[in-house]
Amino acid sequence: MKHYKLGSKVKVSPDNDNDYYNDFRDKVLIVTNVAKNESEHRGYDSSVAPDYLYDFKTIDGQIVHCSLYDYELVPA
């Protein structure tokens, strides 16, 4: 499993068809937080372990109000 670090640049995976992500689907996202368990992020779902959960901002500094897991991302 590929994990990302703070500052990594990623995009939503083209295989992900969640319409909720359309606002930022084609944008480069910068990882601003990395969570490996529930104590590091209140939205973390332990059933997806060992995936990490990430928070982001866009290149122009806008906060993305959605967290995504490893399987939802590809490198930018």
Residue 70 confidence (pLDDT):
97
In a domain, 19, yes or no: yes
pLDDT in tens, 8-30: 999 999 999 999 999 999 999 99
What is the pLDDT of the chain when averaged over all its residues? 96
In a domain, 27, yes or no: yes
Residue 9 · residue 30 · CB < 8 Å: yes
Residue 54 · residue 31 · CB < 8 Å: yes
Bond before 14 cis per omega within 30 degrees: no
In a domain, 38, yes or no: yes
In a domain, 2, yes or no: no
pTM of the model: 0.94
The amino acid at residue 45 is D
Q: What domain range includes position 65?
A: 9-75
Domains of the chain: total: 1
pLDDT in tens, 29-40: 999 999 999 999
In a domain, 71, yes or no: yes
Query: Cα(45)–Cα(17) distance, rounded to whole angstroms?
Result: 20
In a domain, 1, yes or no: no
> Count of CB atoms within 10 A of residue 29's CB?
25
